[in-house]
Amino acid sequence: MNDKRNKQHFGEPKKINTQIKHHILSNTLNTSLAIANNLCKVYKTDKVYTYIDLFAGRGVFEDYSKGSPLIAIDLLSQHNESGKNNFNDLQIVCTEKDDKNYCDLQRLLIEYPDENITCYSGSGEWESFSAQIQSILKDSGWGFIFADPYSTELDIESLKNALQSYSKLKDILVFFNFRTLARQDGRKYIQDIDRICKNIGINASELLDADENFSEIFEYKIKEHFKDLKKFVIGVGFPTTVKGQLINSDYFYLIFSTNTPVLVDAFLDSYEEMLEKYTNYSVNQQMPLFGNPDKNYIFDVLKTEYSGGCTLYDLYKHITDKFLSWKELTKTIKKVPTIKNVVSILNEFYNEGSIKYIANNDVFYKKNSKHGYEGNLRYSEAGKSADNMKNIRICLNSR
């Protein structure tokens, strides 16, 4: 049965919370595309890049603002028109279960002619196209999967099974309606428990017997599932829109899974941009890192987890492991752990003499400038690639 709320969602102007979600999608997808394209050039391969939208919707809102499929097509087209395309083919795959939404989407896809972009679409539950999606993923060197259900209808085990064998070089962005899940957990009705178990991949006894609050259960289970697929699993909360205004909450969550720290940074950077745009949040040098009492959080991690030293890659992976709260960040004004912010705090410790760096000279400032002191890490070089991050070692100075 078709969900009337889905029709209503696209029958209204795009809400601010959806604008936030689409901004993060756009920036992260664009960076994914650029990194994959560069690697195609480096490794002299011309593999296919595929964007897959499992809950594609109507494609456009009542105010004619674009939905995720058209945002993706625009990015693929811009990439192709740049003249720097190294892919053999650019593909977009859309599935949508609502018949009316699907027909509207099909019409829009036809109106977006680009012979260099191959479009596939299917009407029905995405699971019914799982075999075809797996085949497309198998033949795609690179890609991006976006799962944006209206509410809690995503079956995370089905998603994992579809991606398990073919997700190595594909990035994954998934939407979760956290508020609805938490409300269902509070009611404890049998049908609600079944929905939660399906959506976050937990068994009923494990859910009912858990001592933790639901937010802890949610974070633990989501990370557990996606860490089977990817090295980095990043989660960010964002609010809903009530009467045209955002409320300060973690109503929804976006979960991003990737093997590439540069993409983690793009994801978090776009999240920080939205905080700055829609709240009084503004990054400054004195701000501590996310959700922690002060900047010494990083120093404590170095002392307790990596007393013998660690790479910037390992430290960044550790720091970005906890999901971020829009409500907490807005209330307490803490830094989002972008590479720029993390390196900024590390440089403070370096200038105080608390730590030392071991790395090639090309990642350091050679002289004092408005961006950093001599001997400080240049975040643009330090975070340029996973290899750069792995080649920078951070050690505590003995006192």
How many Cα atoms are found within 13 Å in the side-chain-facing hemisphere of 162?
24
Question: What pLDDT sits at residue 291?
Answer: 38
Of the listed ranges 74-83, 110-119, 231-240, the one predicted with least confidence: 110-119
Helix (H) / strand (E) element for 348: namely helix 339-352
pLDDT at 150 over 80: yes
Mind listing the pLDDT tens digit for each residue in 158-168?
Answer: 999 999 999 99
Three-point CA angle 267, 242, 280, nearest 5°: 50
Mind listing the pLDDT tens digit for each residue in 364-398?
Answer: 999 988 878 999 999 999 999 999 999 999 999 87
Under the banding of pLDDT at 50, 70 and 90, the label for residue 359 is: very high
Contact by Cβ (8 Å): 223, 257: no
Q: Based on the number of CB atoms within 10 Å of its own CB, is 239 exposed (0-12), middle (13-18) or buried (19 or more)? A: buried
Under the banding of pLDDT at 50, 70 and 90, the label for residue 3 is: low
pLDDT at 290 over 50: no
Question: What pLDDT sits at residue 370?
Answer: 82
Q: Which amino acid is at 205?
A: S
**Is pLDDT larger for residue 294 or for residue 170?**
170
In this structure, the number of other CB atoms found within 10 A of the CB of residue 198 comes to: 16
Rounded to an integer, the average pLDDT of 183-199 is 94
Question: What pLDDT sits at residue 334?
Answer: 76
User: Which letter does DSSP use for residue 14 in this model?
Assistant: P
Question: What pLDDT sits at residue 293?
Answer: 38
Question: What pLDDT sits at residue 399?
Answer: 55
Mind listing the pLDDT tens digit for each residue in 318-344?
Answer: 999 999 999 988 877 678 999 999 999
pLDDT at 144 over 90: yes
State how far the Cα of 150 lies from the Cα of 144, in Å rounded to an integer.
19
Mind listing the pLDDT tens digit for each residue in 244-288?
Answer: 999 999 999 999 999 999 999 999 999 999 999 999 887 665 555
Question: What pLDDT sits at residue 292?
Answer: 40
Q: Based on the number of CB atoms within 10 Å of its own CB, is 342 exposed (0-12), middle (13-18) or buried (19 or more)? A: buried
Contact by Cβ (8 Å): 200, 218: yes
State how far the Cα of 80 lies from the Cα of 65, in Å rounded to an integer.
22
Strands 232-238 and 117-123: unpaired
Mind listing the pLDDT tens digit for each residue in 43-94?
Answer: 888 789 999 999 999 999 999 999 999 999 999 999 999 988 999 999 999 9
pLDDT at 10 over 80: no
For residue 237, give the nearest of 211, 201, 274, 193 by alpha carbon.
Answer: 274
> Dihedral angle at the C-alpha atoms of 369, 372, 378, 379, nearest 10 degrees?
-130
Question: What pLDDT sits at residue 4?
Answer: 56
Q: Helix 214-226 and helix 178-187: axis angle, to 10°? A: 120
Question: What pLDDT sits at residue 104?
Answer: 94
| Region for 309 from its dihedrals, namely left if φ exceeds 0, alpha if ψ lies in -120 to 50, beta otherwise | left
Strands 393-396 and 310-311: antiparallel
pLDDT at 109 over 50: yes
Rounded to an integer, the average pLDDT of 197-220 is 93
Contact by Cβ (8 Å): 265, 234: no
State how far the Cα of 101 lies from the Cα of 333, in Å rounded to an integer.
40
Mean pLDDT of the chain: 91
Rounded to an integer, the average pLDDT of 115-120 is 88
The token pair at 375 is 């001997």
Domain boundaries in the chain?
4-278, 296-396
State how far the Cα of 158 lies from the Cα of 225, in Å rounded to an integer.
11
**Dihedral angle sign, alpha carbons of residues 261, 267, 268, 272:** positive
3-state secondary structure of 232: strand
Q: φ, ψ for residue 232 (rounded to 5)? A: -110, 130
Question: What pLDDT sits at residue 128?
Answer: 96
Question: What pLDDT sits at residue 127?
Answer: 96
The token pair at 56 is 């594609």
Proportion of the chain above pLDDT 70, given as a percent: 93
For 4-278, CATH gives 3.40.50.150
pLDDT at 140 over 80: yes
